[in-house]
Structure 1
Amino acid sequence: MKKIVMTGGGTAGHVTPNIALMPALKENGYEISYIGSYAGMEKQLIEEQNIPYYGISSGKLRRYFDWKNFSDPFKVLKGYGQAVRLLKKLKPDVVFSKGGFVSVPVVLAAKRCKIPAIIHESDLTPGLANRLAIPSASKVCCNFPETMKYLPEGKAVLTGSPIRQELLSGKKEAAISYCGFEGRNLPVILIVGGSSGSKVINSAVRAILPELLDHFSIIHLCGKGNLDESLKNLEGYAQFEYAKQELTDMFALSDLVISRAGANSICELLALHKPNILIPLSAAASRGDQILNAKSFKAQGFSYVIEEESLTDDTLKEAIHEVFAHKEDYINAMKKSNQMNSIDTILSLIKEVSLKK
């Protein structure tokens, strides 16, 4: 049996694509182990998959002054030593990394142990952790055509991002019941503002609700603590702090999605062929990766983009009516994308580098 060690952590975006790959790896006879941080969010997510999990020391490399910058390099060195020992014990044929700082010592250790490593970069420009790990990798997968120019020639492969296959099997009827939309025969808009929600998106959506509800039913995932009790019984408006298993059914029911522009989220929209409006996190609140992601999807004809600074009641209304009027154009553009078979493409790369070991 072939063995693979997967790594990545720090955020859900560094873990969920790994989880999406796992069923295909198992079907192809791979024994999977996972290396993450001692107590990062990845630990619970991976253990829920009944995958053996190994924690190592992990430090973060920051671009700004912080006293931890003096101690964290020693944590990384410790993690590197632990990763070397683990890889010698586990003897995998290949390492697959989704990024995050815990992955850096694992990929470097793989090179030390002469084990091929494949890295996946979600965003349009590589993050710092992946930039540190790329020289030790055999292949680097990416989501965007524009990313290829930032990666070493011969290593870069445009794959798209693995998405959870259960997202493709949602049931509209279940979402209608869950949201209380029985007897309401109108198209549905799904608003997803991220796990903590977005105050600016929530405010813009709620300001135009009366007009929207004449034409649409609205599912609003507004983030923890952001429910508006005054709108609780408004017909056609279903608000939730977040959704778990129900999200699959909500996607199936939706005709238009309003979303942030995190790489994994927009790749899910692409795979589902959902016409969408992207409102990327502003550069003031991030390294600007969501803005670049959104611009790429706009250029490929997949998305309509409103920059957060330009978001108003009027620009949101205009965007909704524009996208809905031309939804078939967006759907057709997404159907032509060559990034749809990401799991098969990545699996082929894993087999390829395993054979070369």
Structure 2
Amino acid sequence: MKKKTIVLTGGGTAGHVSLNQAIIPTLEKQSFEVHYIGSKDGIELELIRDAFPHIKYHAISSGKLRRYASVKNFTDPLRVMKGLLEALLILKKVKPSVIFSKGGFVSVPVVMAGKMAKIPVVIHESDVTPGLANKIAMPFAHHIFTVFPETLKHLPSEKSSCSGSIIRSELFEGRKEAGMRLCGFEGFKPVLLIMGGSQGSVVVNEAIRSNLPRLLEKYDVIHLCGKGKVDETLKNMKGYQQFEYVTHELPDLLHAANIIVSRAGSNSIFEFLALRKPMLLIPLSKQQSRGDQLLNAQIFKKQGWASVIEEEDVTPATFMAALDDVKSRAEHIQEVMGSSELPKTPDEMVTLITSYAK
């Protein structure tokens, strides 16, 4: 029997790839041939090829669509047009029955090409308000799924619905002992896990390193500091383990953690919620983003799932005070998390996506 074919797209950050990673095993179990369309040098290339080397990855040209003045605003539309033509050729060759887009600028030409080729397109929006790439792509979509119910008021009601969060099943399979062994921790202190995003965060990194002696009195510290941001002078410090970025090791590190300090990307914070991990969130400011992480963080704070400190307010003293507050309320936070709605499984999400297939 001929296999059904699906094209996945999304990239630019790990958050635009993680859901695609989560559903690939289910798609393959259901006899779908999976193709991935991403950029030529984005993080999605590394993440998909590392986790699924057998999947056909198609690299296309992509341009960033900016909200601010830049010379590249004149050249990048040409790259988007080139990417559109490249995506059209790929779609005509592989003939997918449906396209699933997780967002990011590389997805825009793919979604547009899908509409031109009369292939159903399903989009997933993780944040409270749609990102610029998804805003551009939405008119070309058959349906748009959201994580937050609040997002629906920003979308066309006739083709949007809230699916809730979707969590990679392997995150639940992590082992605390493996995470502790990987870091060389003896288990006498609670573990603090810091995640500053795939590119790392200067604000988060400085908050940790400026407080490191005080932190190590209370915690063993796992620090995911971002590409090129390992501090070589701290590599042999007992109780402090740095990683630029992790993939396969992440489930074990999450299970080893007692408290998490993180940015407020939607995918990550819902993973922490599903694992019942008390969290201190330091969302990207409006100066660095469109403010989506601020909205994500405020919803989690309102629900009682997280504490929040805005990065403009971060000093060594305010950071420690906020972390001490989370530590003192950790049991209560976990109790509140216990009443939250369970995330959808990848199998359930695949059923929703493939219901739109030709």
TM over 0.5: yes
For 1:85, the equivalent position in structure 2 comes to: 89
Q: Does structure 1 residue 285 correspond to structure 2 residue 296?
A: no
Of 62, 69, 77, the match for 1:73: 77
For residues 111 and 296 of structure 1, the distance between their equivalents in structure 2, rounded to whole angstroms, comes to: 34
Partner of 1:338: 341
1:145 aligns with 2:146: no
Between the aligned partners of 1:110 and 1:177, the Cα distance in structure 2 is 46
Q: Cα offset for 1:279? A: 0.6
Task: Give the superposition deviation at 1:227.
Answer: 4.5
Q: Normalising to structure 2: TM-score of the pair?
A: 0.89
Pairing partner for 2:115 from 111, 117, 123 = 111
Residues 124 and 147 in structure 1, CA contact (< 8 A), matched pair in contact too: yes
Deviations 1:4-47 (A, max 9, x none): 11111223222222112101111122111122234433334333
Residues 86, 216 of structure 1: alpha-carbon distance in 2 compared, 3 angstrom cutoff:
closer
Gaps of 5+ in 2: none
Answer yes or no: is the 8 Å Cα contact 2:168–2:345 preserved in 1.
no
Instruction: Give the stretch that moved more between structures: 303-312 or 9-18.
Output: 9-18
Go from structure 1 to structure 2 and tell me whether the alpha carbon gap of 1:336 and 1:31 turns closer, same or farther (over 3 Å shift).
farther
1:179 corresponding residue in structure 2: 183
Using the TM superposition, give the Cα deviation of residue 110 of structure 1 relative to its aligned residue in structure 2, in angstroms: 1.8
Map of 1:14 onto structure 2: 16
- What CA deviation, in whole Å up to 9, does each residue of 1:88-112 have, x standing for no partner? 3222111100112221122122222
Decide whether the 8 Å contact of 2:36 with 2:56 is kept in 1: yes
Counterpart in the other structure of 1:269: 272
109-118 vs 19-28, greater mean Cα deviation: 109-118
Aligned equivalents of 1:143, 1:110: Cα separation in 2: 23
Q: Does structure 2 conserve the Cα–Cα contact (< 8 Å) formed by 1:278 and 1:303?
A: yes
The aligned counterpart of 2:30 is: 28
Give the deviation of 1:168 after TM superposition.
Answer: 1.6
**Percent identity of equivalent pairs:** 53
Partner of 1:3: 5
2:56 equivalent to 1:52: yes
Instruction: Tell me which residue corresponds to 1:324.
Output: 327
CA distance in structure 2 between the aligned counterparts of 1:231 and 1:14, rounded to whole angstroms: 31
**RMSD across aligned C-alpha pairs, in angstroms?**
2.4
Residue 254 of structure 1 and its aligned partner are, at CA, apart by 0.8
- For 2:12, what is the secondary structure of its paired residue? coil
Other-structure match for 1:190: 193
Counterpart of 1:284 in 2: which secondary structure? coil
Q: 1:320 to 1:3 in 2, by over 3 A?
A: same
Answering whether residue 351 of structure 2 is matched by residue 351 of structure 1, we say no
Q: What is the TM-score normalised by the length of structure 1?
A: 0.89
Residue 317 (structure 2) pairs with residue 314 (structure 1): yes
8 Å CA contact retained: 1:17, 1:161: no
Alignment partner of 1:99 is 2:97: no
Aligned positions, number: 354
Instruction: Spell out, residue by residue over 1:252-298, the C-alpha distance to the aligned partner (whole angstroms, 9 max, x if none).
Output: 11110011112222122122221100011222222222212211211
- CA deviations 1:208-234 (Å, max 9, x no partner) are 444433433222233455445665554
Per-residue deviation, residues 175-219 of structure 1 (Å, max 9, x unmatched): 22222222x422211112233433333333344444433433222
Tell me if structure 1 keeps the 8 A contact 2:262–2:279.
yes
Kept in 2, the 8 Å contact 1:281–1:288? The answer is yes
Aligned to 2:255: 252
- Listed one character per residue, the Cα deviations across residues 313-334 of structure 1 (whole Å, up to 9, x for unaligned) are 3322222232222223322333
CA contact (8 A) 2:14 2:198 kept: no
User: Which is worse superposed, 252-261 or 267-276?
Assistant: 267-276
Residue 40 (structure 1) aligns with: 42
Report the CA distance between 1:157 and its aligned residue.
Answer: 2.4
